[in-house]
């Protein structure tokens, strides 16, 4: 009889991890191997002593003990410890002799745990920091409208920002932990890594991840982002399948790198292809109509009509753009609406660059502000901004 249990202990909780394995053995569940989960076999209850050691030469890409870990295991076997399995920088040992010596000195153990925690923290935080910087730069400089009037993009921006801030707090917590543990070692105390009786459960984390995915999916559907609504669940399902397959195959470190890079490239190409096909099919059906997006901050509506349309004739009569008939093929009207004046001011500043080069036409439109430049005209009313562009 076998069962698989999912646990995600941090490196600084390695003692709590080992004690939990001992508790499982006392219940008759003995660790067999560690794939994408910890696999146990049912047997006689025994009092077993495990050690969860952080191996200095290990890597997060290790799905099984590598050559260096196997060599280290031979040294530990001579000291009375047998290697059961390992993953990442963890190596799981079981004591086979009562007189077995400790695998590492307290100072070596602390150095290994501290290094592994720092690398794990950087790996988990850097991607969110880069995404947060890229998204905020896009919001503030490049294409702010795609964020401001999309609940999906606002939700993603909020989640990425919170994760980036959470990474900074985790780094501060790690710094405090390292300082306190170093002081305890300096005073001659042997620290316990983790909390007594600590049991890590992955169900809350999985529930939180699924909830975030569902929230983004609902926002994408409400925003009319059909391509994103299809791609998001497909991407996460494919990524999960890739992760489970890697755990099943248990490739070497180099093989894992190659498999992940190759699988990631194939997945990215397939998703881009699907996104392009869905986007073009949607655009071809909706090109002649009105395109609208709405968020908690306001809405944006876009009309694009040919030179012989009623919208162009209205623009000619009202003088929305200068000399619209001179080679104009179409007219594009964008209407921004929001109850936040500062947001509309920001959009005005983005549209009307170098105001000295624009001609003031506020009186002509009876608006708060209005300016035109060639085939382009911007009009600001209370709670609304109109942008005409002739091409």
Mean pLDDT to the nearest integer, 231-247:
85
| HSE-CB of 286 using CA atoms within 13 angstroms | 14
Structure confidence at residue 55 (pLDDT): 95
- pTM of the model as a whole: 0.81
Q: What percent of the chain has pLDDT over 90?
A: 53
Structure confidence at residue 189 (pLDDT): 95
Structure confidence at residue 288 (pLDDT): 44
pLDDT tens for 367-377 read 999 999 888 89
Mean pLDDT to the nearest integer, 211-232:
79
Task: Assign 267 a pLDDT band (cuts: 50, 70, 90).
Answer: confident
Q: What percent of the chain has pLDDT over 70?
A: 90
250 sits in the region (left: phi over 0; alpha: psi -120 to 50; else beta) called: left
Among the ranges given (25-39, 119-133, 236-250, 365-379), the one the predictor scored with the smallest mean pLDDT: 236-250
pLDDT at 285 > cutoff 50: no
pLDDT at 236 > cutoff 90: no
The domain ranges of the chain are 2-104, 105-193, 216-287, 291-390
């Amino acid at each position: 009889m076998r069962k698989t249990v999912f646990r995600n202990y941090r490196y600084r909780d390695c003692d709590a991890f080992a004690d939990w394995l001992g508790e499982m053995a006392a219940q008759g569940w003995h660790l067999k191997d560690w794939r994408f989960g910890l696999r146990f076999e049912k047997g006689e209850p025994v009092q077993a002593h495990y050690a969860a050691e952080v191996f200095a030469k290990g890597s997060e890409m290790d799905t099984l003990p590598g050559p260096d870990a196997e060599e280290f295991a031979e040294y530990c076997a001579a000291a009375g410890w047998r290697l059961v399995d390992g993953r990442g920088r963890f190596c799981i040992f079981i004591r086979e002799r009562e007189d077995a010596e400790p695998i590492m000195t307290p100072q070596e153990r602390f150095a290994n745990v501290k290094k592994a925690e720092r690398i794990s923290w950087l790996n988990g935080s850097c991607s969110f920091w880069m995404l947060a910087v890229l998204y905020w730069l896009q919001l503030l400089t490049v294409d702010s409208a795609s964020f401001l009037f999309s609940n999906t993009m606002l939700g993603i921006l909020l989640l990425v920002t919170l994760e980036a801030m959470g990474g900074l707090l985790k780094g501060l917590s790690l710094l405090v932990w390292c300082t306190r543990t170093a002081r305890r070692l300096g005073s001659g105390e042997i620290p316990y890594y983790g909390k007594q009786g600590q049991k890590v459960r992955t169900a809350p984390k999985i529930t939180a991840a699924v909830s975030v995915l569902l929230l983004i999916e609902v926002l994408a559907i409400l925003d009319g982002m059909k391509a994103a609504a299809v791609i998001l669940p497909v991407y996460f399902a494919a990524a999960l399948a890739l992760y489970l397959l890697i755990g099943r195959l248990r490739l070497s470190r180099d093989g894992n790198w190659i498999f992940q890079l190759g699988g990631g490239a194939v997945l990215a190409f397939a998703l881009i292809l699907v996104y392009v096909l869905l986007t073009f099919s949607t655009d071809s059906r909706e090109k002649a109509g009105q395109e609208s997006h709405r968020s908690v901050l306001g809405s944006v509506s876009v009309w694009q009509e040919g030179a012989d349309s009623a919208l162009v004739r209205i623009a000619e009569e009202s003088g929305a753009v200068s000399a619209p008939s001179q080679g104009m093929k179409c007219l594009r009207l964008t209407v921004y609406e929001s109850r936040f004046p500062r947001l509309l001011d920001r959009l005005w500043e983005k549209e009307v660059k170098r105001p000295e080069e624009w001609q003031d036409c506020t009186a002509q439109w009876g608006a708060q502000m209005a300016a035109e430049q060639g085939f382009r005209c911007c009009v600001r009313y209370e709670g609304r901004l109109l942008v005409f562009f002739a091409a």
